[in-house]
Chain A
């Protein structure tokens, strides 16, 4: 059970949060311009890395804000947390 430092609320237990998959996948601005393959790439393809992964999390049972997390999936170490729209930290 992680201890997650919500950038708006502070440290809270993992059960207050919802994981939201891979981060930094931007919804295409002009979907109609994309081929089926390009759209499928956005829609379906997500990484599942053993190691450092960039993820979206939501403080669902708290402030309900979305934020980003850098997590090492091999040992669940949370390396960084930053707000939506902020640049990911250099790794």
Chain B
């Protein structure tokens, strides 16, 4: 039987809408408006998880995104499951299921709980110290750790939901819709700033919306009543967009923020379908107003982690907002007045408050008096020295604090209770502020880090800026708005505020117990089980930097990033080391503030939208003819065209033979094409290529090699002179955009005096490369009136022609060594051109071939492929291409580097051919080459860069780079493989038709 702990209908809970949900397999009921945490608490369920290291029972601690304990797996076992979700942030809906994490076999009986009793053996750094030695034991440790530590389970099938990205540009972004955020957004929008207000909760108003302290008044109303009226008015304001359930995850430079908008997580399964689940908002704001509020601090005392021990402010929120009593015998433990507000909230609703333990000597504020008048016992100058109750708190022991706060005196008082609210003061939520690059300073009086130096257009208002009382908040907000937005009047000028003054403070980071520290468990980081004694141990072991202590003890390293305990960790370090907190610095808060799902991060970029790809105009033909494709840069290129169940090898052998014996056709549309015009175009080419261009006649083509300034080969391709001041350059497929970028760079920054214009026309032309001894006959059939004689149209020349009405550019150039034509037409005619070639070539058995055959054919000729036979360390000399390097030209890109002592070394790796002793053995590309087999260590001479079985030569061939290879012609070398050594001979890299007789065949 679970007790129902609903106290009174709250306006935020719809008691007419009863919802059933499951937690750890058991069915419970809650109402629309509940979070999983509030609904569980209403059912008297506090125990929701186990801690990471000691597997101690842990309960719901907070009511927000700072929750360290109530980490659950939502909808376990289905494809929508999500691990590491905070129960305090899950809105319940009919059919919701959730389960505890980090416990096995169940949260009630947990095997790992034995670690708790062994905890003297699990001090800070235990994992580092123990599991690293001996190294061979790691596998056993790993098995144990992985089995017992659970950080949730990822879904095993694909995510059914849709995610989205949206860019937002606004004048003012307000983060947080508490009282400060609402007033800031309202005044910004009213002053014609395009304003966006976001809040992670589903309701506006922050904690002020349930602030009913009768001693605080705004315009004679309670803060809650007054704020509700303000929120109503927001609806009528233009220029204001409000997004709830939207949590800002990251604040980058130049006011660029990422937020996650949650759209369907609160809906039943049937209503989630086909809707966008979460949207990543990419916000660029001219000004950012941070109104992220403050997080209540716990107090650090012995056994402060039992289920039933919660933040005082959370108990108040559960009571006022959700109408839930977290306990029936409540005690508060505090160092400030806010616990009295919580106590009074409970008291006013008829919930029993046993006592308040206050470490201060006294407080004279009105609310404290009111609590005393209500008959609630207050223990001044007392501290809790221990707590009891394994799965639920049932008792606390308190003692009197010494004057200096470091020890306890007198006799122990025992108080029976089932819920303890702790109130350790407030920490401004400065996480986003520091992410933006802005700096904090420590306020010694308030004992908090406050915004100090802003680096971008931003302000922090309300409690995240250090203002906690409503009068300060409104006064300072008003001034900051006027200064930052440059406005003269605001709504806030005439607000009357009365508040109850707090007049006594006492802060002790680590509260003493009657037991020595070593025998106690004062938890600082609940999620990672780091205690105050771990931190002190780290200091004793010599750690000084806060970042080191953090990693050694794992304090603040959990999914909650230590939102609750980081300040205490710093305080304990400062007290122990005897330095001021301001001098320690704070640890860095890294994005995301709250975790993001992978779905939100990738948005629509899934499946075929994962990466951009490009298809040629002939693509449909390749698909219809069953081509296999390969990725070349962003392009999908036809790789080979298997027929009748051929393997890749069989298809490539057939295609390669056909191209040399009769006719082949290749889709070369992907080659980069750059149109170069201007009166200095020839001079420009002279400077970017290694060879000379001035004398190239109009209508002629020339192969060019482009170097980097370091002398290494960068790209290659054929450039054709179309007119006096007009060239078309081709580049490698993968290098096209980089080459254009490099040429533009030189033109704009080094040679702005040159009259040259560059235009990328890669996508504008489709190219069919027709090759083989019958290519001329085929072209003749397509364009009968074109003179194809060697005199009129020799190798390395260009003609313009028409195929029907289609204008085309034809280059007689060859990458295979065969008589070839590259026919270029406007891209939209590409498929038409291809089909015409296929039709005309039918009688010659024209064979379409893909990139693999192209690679094989050029390798037979010893033509390099930049990026395969070169790797950014090869000069033209290394490639045995000295012939292309002009000796006459005064300068070209990379020339000077060819005369550096290093590039002139004789023993550089040089391109050579390799032939295997057994002609049927095909070397592996990338295989290493050696000259001695029994050497140790073995000296690597180089590696194989290209390797094929040549059907035209009926033997295997390979290109390789070998140290000093030029001088090794005929030398026997070895390619050692896993199971054998392959004997090879260094050969001329031109294996086929060395005299280039086939070009004119």
- For the complex, what is the distance from the CA of A43 to the CA of B252, rounded to whole Å? 34
- For the complex, what is the distance from the CA of A72 to the CA of B749, rounded to whole Å? 23
Which among B455, B744, B896, B901 is the interface contact of A64 at CB below 8 angstroms? Answer: B744
A65 vs chain B, min Cβ distance (A): 7
A-side contacts of B895, CB under 8 Å: 31-32
B710 at the interface (CB under 8 A from A): yes
- For the complex, what is the distance from the CA of A84 to the CA of B744, rounded to whole Å? 13
Q: Contact between B254 and A1 (Cβ–Cβ < 8 Å)?
A: yes
Q: Contact between B252 and A32 (Cβ–Cβ < 8 Å)?
A: no
A-side contacts of B890, CB under 8 Å: 32
A19 at the interface (CB under 8 A from B): no
A9 at the interface (CB under 8 A from B): no
Q: Contact between B896 and A39 (Cβ–Cβ < 8 Å)?
A: yes
Q: Contact between B256 and A75 (Cβ–Cβ < 8 Å)?
A: no
A58 at the interface (CB under 8 A from B): yes
Instruction: Kindly report which residue of chain A lies nearest to residue B890, judged by CB atoms.
Output: A32
- For the complex, what is the distance from the CA of A40 to the CA of B899, rounded to whole Å? 12
Q: Contact between B896 and A32 (Cβ–Cβ < 8 Å)?
A: yes
A-side contacts of B891, CB under 8 Å: 30-32
Which among A13, A20, A26, A34 is the interface contact of B284 at CB below 8 angstroms? Answer: A13
B257 vs chain A, min Cβ distance (A): 10
Q: Contact between A1 and B256 (Cβ–Cβ < 8 Å)?
A: yes
Q: Contact between A27 and B750 (Cβ–Cβ < 8 Å)?
A: yes
B-side contacts of A76, CB under 8 Å: 253, 437
Instruction: Kindly report which residue of chain B lies nearest to residue A66, judged by CB atoms.
Output: B748
Q: Contact between B253 and A85 (Cβ–Cβ < 8 Å)?
A: no
B100 vs chain A, min Cβ distance (A): 38
B741 at the interface (CB under 8 A from A): yes
Which among A18, A58, A77, A85 is the interface contact of B752 at CB below 8 angstroms? Answer: A85
Given A27-B750, A66-B749; A2-B253 close (CB under 8 Å):
yes
B-side contacts of A77, CB under 8 Å: 455
- For the complex, what is the distance from the CA of A3 to the CA of B254, rounded to whole Å? 6
- For the complex, what is the distance from the CA of A64 to the CA of B742, rounded to whole Å? 11
Given A31-B896, A76-B437; A1-B748 close (CB under 8 Å):
no
B762 vs chain A, min Cβ distance (A): 15
A80 at the interface (CB under 8 A from B): no
Q: Contact between B897 and A39 (Cβ–Cβ < 8 Å)?
A: yes
B241 at the interface (CB under 8 A from A): no
A36 at the interface (CB under 8 A from B): yes
Which among A1, A20, A31, A36 is the interface contact of B745 at CB below 8 angstroms? Answer: A20
B-side contacts of A30, CB under 8 Å: 891
B-side contacts of A34, CB under 8 Å: 896
B225 at the interface (CB under 8 A from A): no
Q: Contact between B897 and A43 (Cβ–Cβ < 8 Å)?
A: yes
- For the complex, what is the distance from the CA of A20 to the CA of B900, rounded to whole Å? 25
Given A1-B253, A3-B254, A27-B750; A43-B709 close (CB under 8 Å):
yes
A-contacting residues, B832-872, CB 8 Å: none
- For the complex, what is the distance from the CA of A80 to the CA of B890, rounded to whole Å? 37
A-side contacts of B896, CB under 8 Å: 28, 31-32, 34, 39
- For the complex, what is the distance from the CA of A85 to the CA of B255, rounded to whole Å? 31
Given A2-B254, A43-B897; A56-B749 close (CB under 8 Å):
yes
Q: Contact between B745 and A58 (Cβ–Cβ < 8 Å)?
A: yes
B-side contacts of A31, CB under 8 Å: 891, 895-896
B-side contacts of A40, CB under 8 Å: 900
Instruction: Kindly report which residue of chain B lies nearest to residue A36, judged by CB atoms.
Output: B900
- For the complex, what is the distance from the CA of A29 to the CA of B346, rounded to whole Å? 83
Instruction: Kindly report which residue of chain B lies nearest to residue A4, judged by CB atoms.
Output: B254
- For the complex, what is the distance from the CA of A64 to the CA of B749, rounded to whole Å? 12
Interface bracket on A: 20 to 34
- For the complex, what is the distance from the CA of A55 to the CA of B989, rounded to whole Å? 44
B604 vs chain A, min Cβ distance (A): 16
Q: Contact between B748 and A75 (Cβ–Cβ < 8 Å)?
A: no
- For the complex, what is the distance from the CA of A43 to the CA of B891, rounded to whole Å? 15
A-side contacts of B252, CB under 8 Å: 1
B-side contacts of A26, CB under 8 Å: 750
Residue of B253, B749, B890 with most chain A CB atoms under a 10 A cut-off: B749
A20 vs chain B, min Cβ distance (A): 7
A-side contacts of B710, CB under 8 Å: 43
Given A66-B745, A84-B748, A84-B749; A36-B253 close (CB under 8 Å):
no
B-side contacts of A60, CB under 8 Å: 741
- For the complex, what is the distance from the CA of A13 to the CA of B284, rounded to whole Å? 9
Instruction: Kindly report which residue of chain B lies nearest to residue A34, judged by CB atoms.
Output: B896
Q: Contact between A39 and B254 (Cβ–Cβ < 8 Å)?
A: no
Q: Contact between B455 and A75 (Cβ–Cβ < 8 Å)?
A: yes
Q: Contact between B745 and A39 (Cβ–Cβ < 8 Å)?
A: no
B-side contacts of A58, CB under 8 Å: 741, 745
- For the complex, what is the distance from the CA of A56 to the CA of B741, rounded to whole Å? 14
B74 vs chain A, min Cβ distance (A): 31
Residue of A31, A39, A60 with most chain B CB atoms under a 10 A cut-off: A31
Instruction: Kindly report which residue of chain A lies nearest to residue B708, judged by CB atoms.
Output: A43
B-contacting residues, A7-43, CB 8 Å: 13, 18, 20, 26-28, 30-32, 34, 36, 39-40, 43
- For the complex, what is the distance from the CA of A27 to the CA of B709, rounded to whole Å? 10
A-contacting residues, B896-914, CB 8 Å: 896-897, 899-901
Given A56-B749, A66-B748; A75-B437 close (CB under 8 Å):
yes
- For the complex, what is the distance from the CA of A58 to the CA of B899, rounded to whole Å? 31
Binary interface profile of B, 873-911, with partner A (CB < 8 Å = 1, else 0)?
Answer: 000000000000000001100011101110000000000
Instruction: Kindly report which residue of chain A lies nearest to residue B455, judged by CB atoms.
Output: A75
Instruction: Kindly report which residue of chain A lies nearest to residue B748, judged by CB atoms.
Output: A66
- For the complex, what is the distance from the CA of A26 to the CA of B890, rounded to whole Å? 18
- For the complex, what is the distance from the CA of A66 to the CA of B744, rounded to whole Å? 9
B748 vs chain A, min Cβ distance (A): 5
B-side contacts of A20, CB under 8 Å: 745
B-contacting residues, A59-73, CB 8 Å: 60, 64-66
* A–B Cβ pairs within 8 angstroms, 25 of them: A1-B252, A2-B253, A3-B254, A3-B256, A27-B750, A32-B890, A32-B891, A34-B896, A36-B901, A39-B896, A39-B897, A43-B709, A43-B897, A56-B749, A58-B741, A65-B748, A66-B744, A66-B745, A66-B749, A75-B437, A75-B455, A76-B253, A76-B437, A77-B455, A84-B749
Closest 3 CB pairs of A and B: A31-B896, A3-B254, A1-B256
Interfacial residues, chain B to chain A (CB-CB below 8 A): 252-256, 284, 437, 455, 709-710, 741, 744-745, 748-750, 752, 890-891, 895-897, 899-901
- A1-B254, A39-B896, A75-B455 given; name 4 further pairs at CB < 8 Å: A13-B256, A60-B741, A66-B744, A75-B437
